[in-house]
Amino acid sequence: MKDERPEDRSQEDMGGSRQVERDSQLSAMFDGELASAECELLARRLTRDDALRGQWSRYALIGSALRAERGVKLHDKVARRVQSALTQDPAYGDSSSADVAAISTRSSSDAASASLDSRWMRFARPVVGASIAAGVAAVSILWLRTQGPEPELLASAPAGESIVLTAQATDTAADTIIAQAVQPQPESPPVSNGEPERYSTPAPSSQTNMAPPAHFANYVVAHSEYSGPLARRLALLGIVGTESQTDEELEADAAAGAATQGAVQGGVQGGVRGDIDNAP
Amino acid sequence: MTVEESDLVLVKRVQRGDKSAFDLLVRKYQHKVVKLVLRYVRNPAEAEDIAQEAFIKAYRALPQFRGDSAFYTWMYRIAINTAKNQLASRDRSPIAYDLDLTDPEESHSVQTKLQDPDTPEGMALTEEIRGIVNSAIEGLPEELKTAIVLRELDGLSYEEIAAAMECPVGTVRSRIFRAREAIDKRLREVFEGGLGRTEEMV
């Protein structure tokens, strides 16, 4: 015979009363009548305790049986089939935070990919955007640095004499005026602070054929007072680039005819390219 | 806390990665969903298939569920849409054109298959479970019987039942729990292994 000690009996009673209380909570939770905090704790317990889950199922069964739902078979077949079908589906979110150790199968189904992608994209998007912007800026700076000696020019020029605007006359002198930043020359003394910008008329040269129209050049000069050298250069390059044919080309076209047009265009392109290369 | 909030606790657990919490929701609502689908299809087996598909769809769409509505309301819509899609696809099915419904014999056979495909064993077991539950209810003290009936059949909240029975809410909770325990005990006695055994029998 086994003697049952009073303390063992009291522990059993405590365990039994705890179980009764837990079952009572389960019943209340099933009806949505359990306090929120208790509900969270019991939900956590439910995910681990098979016996409790079975009880949960039977509570559902009792309700269905009482309601005598016509045509509804009282079994767990649907639940079992759903559970089986979802074994290949991934769990959502961070399973460790939900106290689930058993969930380990993660497949590459659409839902999981979408969830993962959205989380990844949330962090990656700004980084990728910033990288692209930085890359474009770096390429632009490198490209502009290869176009001319302006930074050196600016660095070597004395203060107050850094940029002198001169006007270069073309064959038809009044037609074209180009704003060009050059080193100060003896015949065109540097502009001191406070003095108006100076325009000079240099001797005609072959390069003047690539000069932009006077109204474009004047516009740039008038509006480049406060712009930086890079911006001014870009504007001038744009003007020169749009000047597709010069007077010489037209003459060459007339002389050589259509047969030589390709060669003339090649020369023009070379001239334009050279212009860009030599642009201030 | 309401049923909606209680379900939301489980939904949030699913969204955090606890797949088994979804199983609890399925177990809770599977019979209701099958009953709902049976409004659209007469075949109980087909209704179960549709219910299964609806639950799977719900699981896959659960990350988008924000809790603006109750889980069951959301599930209800998914089940109805799934049932309607099933009906539409069945209408488009070429099999329907292969049936010679003018032949009385074939027509009767098809109708029988569509309307009454339940296995006798499954229905017998269901009736047995109902019998056990009803007999257990009859054996309950009056206050327990009233409490469980008001809850399960009339869908009253504990507070409403407390008002109806003129007792505290805690007493209602206790009565409903005791009623369930008494019925559950009878069920366990009959099926010994609980529902797992029941499923095997089905």
Q: Which of A24, A34, A48, A62 to mutate to test the interface with B (most CBs of B within 10 A)?
A: A62
**What is the Cα–Cα distance from B134 to A27, expressed in whole angstroms?**
19
Chain B interface disruption, residue of A70, A92, A106, A107, most B CBs within 10 A: A92
Question: What is the rounded CA–CA span in Å between residue B129 and residue A258?
Answer: 101
DSSP annotation string for A131-182? HHHHHHHHHHHHHHHTT-SHHHHHHHSPTT-S-EEE----SSTTT----EEE
Give the pLDDT confidence score for residue A93 in this predicted structure.
65
| Helical axes B158-165 vs B169-191, angle rounded to 10° | 110
According to DSSP, the β-strands at A180-182 and A164-166 are antiparallel
Give B158's pLDDT tier (boundaries 50, 70, 90): very high
Strand partners, A188: A185
AA letter at B127? E
Q: What is the pLDDT of residues A170-212, one digit of tens each?
A: 444 444 444 444 444 444 444 444 444 444 445 555 444 555 5
As a whole number of Å, the CA-based R_g of chain B is: 21
ipTM entry = 0.78
pLDDT tens figures, B122-154: 677 788 888 889 899 999 999 999 999 999 989
Contact B26, A83 (CB under 8 A): yes
DSSP-derived 3-state class of residue A188: strand
Interface of A with B in 63-92 (CB under 8 A): 63-83, 85-86, 89, 91-92
User: What tokens were used for A265?
Assistant: 């265009």
Q: What is the pTM for the complete model shown?
A: 0.53
Amino acid B106 reads: E
Q: Flag if B3 and A31 touch (Cβ within 8 Å).
A: yes
Q: Which amino acid would we find at residue B45?
A: A
Element housing A125 (H / E) = helix A110-145
Query: Given CB atoms, is A103 within the 8 Å cutoff of chain B?
Result: yes
Per the CB < 8 A criterion, the answer to whether A167 and A177 are in contact is yes
Q: Touching check for B52 and chain A: CB below 8 Å?
A: yes
User: Taking CA atoms, what residue in B is nearest to A68?
Assistant: B130
Q: Can you tell me which residue has the tokens 């073309």?
A: A170
* Rounded distance between C-alpha atoms, residue A271 and residue A238, angstroms: 15
